[in-house]
Amino acid sequence: SKSAVIIGSGVAGLASAIRLQLLGFDVSVFEKNSFPGGKLSDFTLGDYHFDRGPSLFTQPENVLELFKLAGRNPKDYIQIEKLNEANRYFFEDGTIVHGYIDTQKFDEELVSKLGERKGNAVQYLSEAANLYQHVGLIFLDYPLQRLKTWFNKRILKALAVVKGKHLINTVDQVNKKSFASPKTQQIFNRFATYNGSNPYVAPAMLTMIPHLEHNEGAFYPKGGMISITNALFKLANELGVQFYFNEEVEEIVKAKDKVSAVQTDQRTITADVVVSNMDVYFTYQKLFKDNNKAFEISKQERSTSAIIFYWGIKKSFPQLDLHSIFFSENYQQEFDELFVKKVLPSDPTVYINITSKKDVTHAPSNGENWFVMINAPASQIINWEEAVLAAKINVLKKLTRMLNTDIAPLIEEEHIWHPGGIERDTASFLGSLYGSSSNDRMAAFFRHANESKDYKNLFFAGGTVHPGGGIPLCLKSARLVELLVKEQFAG
Ligand code: FAD
């Protein structure tokens, strides 16, 4: 049978491996780390367990689909719970808003806490659903090259469904028109950060993002986000996928209009199909030594990176939820700093994820595992070791003030991840969490396709290629790779 090599075991690499193995390929995965999952991995510090990267889980059907394809019962691999509350929002003036998943309940919460006009959120989320179903899905479920040829037909038809305001305005402009309360506007602006974009610049098409959280729902996999990686890794192994850890791919070997093999730091392996799950920038720069192509890609603005403080906290905070957000007072300034000045925000919005709220074993009793994240610019210039120290002081001051508790003395374990470390550990260009940003109206078309233009048996899956970053889209990219491979190897 034919062979396929996957470079990288990120979530899209795992999903691609499963899909190609099910198509009948002998699949080998090469991973430079000692563990699978890439950004979707975990670690422990003393008695505290931490998910390393992603914390918010939407559209679990993209995961479940893989088990169904393999004829398995997903419940034998992963238990997924739907949340009642997606986020808990904290404002400097003491206001706390519960981001209920249920649209009606969320609408009522915004009315009672923020004096929002009744029905505004319901109306907004129904428009978001409309956008997602008519426009979003076309971008997400089809290969990019098809989209380009269909531009005049399907896309224009889809856009006809969309209201003019979503075509010409930014996310912030639509949110200002849609909501009376500046705090509601801030809550809805934040969704642009789900793919690392700037709500004050990004096109209003991105207002479809809250549809995923509020209409479809936010979820928690029992055991934490690592359970997604563990479940996919287990399935891949059962299906016969071969994994090679601690083995870095150094080169993709070309043969005219095809690629013939990959060379790792330990061997050369021939392959009928190669899928790169590596950041597409580094695929060209490192594996093809093609600096021109890499430079082309680097011209697209990167999405944001992050600084994460993983803190073992020896106290319980009942007022916090699984996902809690401490907003900055001047949100526009925060994005100016991130994208224009490319510096760390002076008053960062702080996000805390605490999985011990769901899995008590993730922290000692009376303790909590805090994953504390602020947005950071994707920048080469900043000295991250120094910047992190200033950021820590800032974050501690903000949380101490907003939680009315001195936080520093409660930290008994600490690990810090910054953009430089994210780039080093996951080979993500400039530490971007989601590849290129969606700040440009045409960004969706500029992302790299799932297939190579130059080599007909080379494919791309992952957060830096079409349709974009985040777990759901990464999983969709693997589905598109399967589709393209199937087309080419049909019969
Ligand atoms: P990656 O996870 O980037 O993995 C690529 C793999 O390839 C790595 O394991 C790497 O070691 C390996 N590799 C690279 N080069 C080579 C080589 N030469 N040879 C062999 N192996 C190689 N998404 C969400 O949906 N929700 C969230 O809440 C969320 N929050 C996030 C928070 C943080 C801090 C981060 C970092 C990301 C977050 N994301 C979130 C984004 C999400 O993690 C990514 O979009 C997704 O995990 C990327 O998966 P991927 O398949 O592209 O591969």
> Looking at 240-254, 322-336, 433-447, which range is the least confident one?
433-447
Domain ranges of the chain: 3-38+61-79+223-301+440-488, 104-216, 304-426
Which CATH number is 3-38+61-79+223-301+440-488's, of 1.10.730.10, 3.50.50.60, 1.10.580.10, 3.40.190.10? 3.50.50.60
The pLDDT value given to residue 152: 60
Does the predicted interface ipTM exceed a cut of 0.95? yes
- How many Å apart are CA 314 and CA 117, to the nearest integer? 41
| Ligand 1 midpoint to CA 195 (Å) | 13
The number of angstroms, rounded, from the C-alpha of 358 to the middle of its chain's C-alpha atoms is: 21
The pLDDT value given to residue 148: 67
Cβ neighbour number for residue 197 with a 10 Å cutoff: 27
Ligand 1 and 433: CB distance under 6 A: yes
| Ligand 1 midpoint to CA 54 (Å) | 9
Q: Which atom of ligand 1 is nearest to the CA of 373?
A: 34
Q: What is the pLDDT of residues 148-193, one digit of tens each?
A: 666 667 777 777 777 778 888 999 999 999 999 999 999 999 999 9
Ligand 1 and 423: CB distance under 6 A: no
- How many Å apart are CA 78 and CA 57, to the nearest integer? 13
| Token pair belonging to 21 | 């193995």
Ligand 1 and 322: CB distance under 6 A: no
The pLDDT value given to residue 144: 79
| Cα-Cα end-to-end distance for the chain | 13
Q: What is the pLDDT of residues 286-335, one digit of tens each?
A: 999 999 999 999 988 899 999 999 999 999 999 999 999 999 999 999 99
Cβ neighbour number for residue 242 with a 10 Å cutoff: 15
| Ligand 1 midpoint to CA 427 (Å) | 9
Ligand 1 and 224: CB distance under 6 A: no
Q: What is the CB-side half-sphere exposure of residue 24 using CA atoms within 13 A? A: 7
| Ligand 1 midpoint to CA 36 (Å) | 10
3-state secondary structure of 60: coil
| Ligand 1 midpoint to CA 316 (Å) | 30
The pLDDT value given to residue 151: 61
| Token pair belonging to 293 | 């192509």
| Ligand 1 midpoint to CA 448 (Å) | 16
The backbone region for 351, taken as left when phi is positive above 0, alpha when psi lies in -120 to 50, beta otherwise, is: beta
Q: What is the pLDDT of residues 82-120, one digit of tens each?
A: 999 999 999 999 999 999 999 999 999 999 999 999 999
pLDDT at 491 over 60: no
Ligand 1 and 30: CB distance under 6 A: yes
